[in-house]
Structure 1
Amino acid sequence: MSKNILFWGGKFKAGIIHDLIEKDKILADTTSLVVKYVFDPNLLKTQFKSNAKFSNKKIDLKFFFKNSYHFVVCIGNELGMARYFISKELEKKKIKPLDIISKNAYFDNKKLLGKGIQLFPNSVVQTGSTVGDYSILNTGSILEHHCEVGNGVHIMPGAVIGGNTYISDFVTIGMNATVMPKIKIEEGAYIGAGAVVTKDVKKNEVVAGNPAKFLKKIVHKVDLKIFK
């Protein structure tokens, strides 16, 4: 019996995840998985080809919830807080998060990975590192040994995180950034593309450059009214 999947988000990240599922490229029984529904209140149609039923109307959500077994929140970039709290709302609807773990990803211990995690091709989670719920390690990113990564984090393609680093909830690490070992990055911080982080980063700070320097503060918002 097939297990229907609800995608929350219909942009290009959803298309990549759709492709991984359809082409049997994740560590799951894809023969039983069907991307059945796509919901995105900000789109008129999906930005990828799919046979799934699409909607941007709240009135359709009750039906989608009732008929979905799994969900994937396909929201990336700096929107980790939104990804996390939308996922928590979907959990309340008795839908199960689906881990998206590429067959070409490497991880030391599945028990150290949170639910709803997304590990894209050639991403690496080394020995002793933990990753929280609804976090993303994008293509070719490397999380070295004995790091602690929180919930709703996004490590973008090519980024390298040195060993014994602490990354709090809702942090974004930009493409090809380097975080030196034993660094602490507090909640909601944003590390710019190509940055080299050599010292701790405070809550909601945006840093960039080599070495990374403070640019501004970022404000995180999430609108959950659609679930009310």
Structure 2
Amino acid sequence: MENKVIVYGASGHGKVIIDILQKNNVSIHAVIDDNPNCESILGLKVHRPSDLDFSEKYQMILSIGNNEIRKKLSLQLHQIDYTNAFHPKAIISNHAVINPGTVVMAGAIVNAGAVIGKHVIINTSAIVEHDCVISDFVHISPNASLAGGVQIGEGTQVGLGASVIQNVKIGKWAVIGAGAVVINDVPDFAVMVGIPAKSIKFHTNE
């Protein structure tokens, strides 16, 4: 029986995921979004969550760029069977582990020994080197690079073009600013900017 793949989120991020699924010849059963003003995306009708019978067997991808909202939805929809979306031009080692709900965009590289959690975004041309461990709900932004052995806690955002040297540990729900170069461990909830990256504040919006 053909899987029914649901894309939850009709944002720009949702467009990228729809495109990846279509490139992989995956049939999209429905796109859903809470916004009543959103009627279509890339030629597909957008449904409201109330339109679907969640007792049916679906596979789903949460196409939500915000890490906190993605976590909240995954907890609400814990009964759903989540699938992945890997762009055909991503390079993913056979020796990497990638958990359900995670997406890997075009040009991204995930190397051997990497372990990627649930509902992670590895965005366009990002590099996740060997033996990195990335927790759930992390977003590695376009062109960001993680050297070997980096560990990243839940919900952290690594910004556009940021670099993290080998074996650094980054805590949960941290924010690494665009273009930052991280050379030391980063505590939970820290906002890091600059070269080398330094903390400018802490936030508590988990």
Q: Normalising by structure 1, report the TM-score.
A: 0.82
Aligned match of 1:170: 155
Match of 2:60 among 59, 66, 71: 71
Bigger drift between 40-49 and 118-127 goes to 40-49
Rounded Cα–Cα distance in structure 2 between residues aligned with 1:125 and 1:51: 31
Partners of 2:95 and 2:113 within 8 A in 1: no
Rounded Cα–Cα distance in structure 1 between residues aligned with 2:170 and 2:107: 24
Question: What's the C-alpha RMSD, in Å, of the aligned pairs?
Answer: 2.0
Partners of 1:193 and 1:208 within 8 A in 2: yes
Where in structure 2 are there 5+ consecutive unaligned residues?
Answer: none
Q: Normalising by structure 2, report the TM-score.
A: 0.90
In the TM superposition, 1:1-228 aligns within 5 A as: 1-24=1-24, 30=25, 33-42=26-35, 44-46=37-39, 48-55=41-48, 60=50, 63-67=52-56, 69-76=58-65, 79-92=66-79, 95-109=80-94, 112-221=97-206
Rounded Cα–Cα distance in structure 1 between residues aligned with 2:29 and 2:200: 42
Q: Which residue type is aligned with residue 115 of structure 1?
A: P
How many aligned residue pairs are there?
Answer: 206
**Which structure shows the higher helix fraction?**
1
Q: Identify if the C-alpha distance between structure 1 residues 68 and 50 changes in structure 2 by more than 3 Å, giving closer, same or farther.
A: farther
**Per-residue deviation, residues 32-82 of structure 1 (Å, max 9, x unmatched):** x43232222245115732333422xx6x15x34245521110111xx2233
Percent identity (aligned): 28
Q: Identify if the C-alpha distance between structure 1 residues 110 and 46 changes in structure 2 by more than 3 Å, giving closer, same or farther.
A: farther
**Per-residue deviation, residues 164-219 of structure 1 (Å, max 9, x unmatched):** 11111111100100011111100000000000111111111111111111122223
Partners of 2:20 and 2:86 within 8 A in 1: no
Where in structure 1 are there 5+ consecutive unaligned residues?
Answer: 25-29, 222-228
Q: Which residue type is aligned with residue 21 of structure 1?
A: L
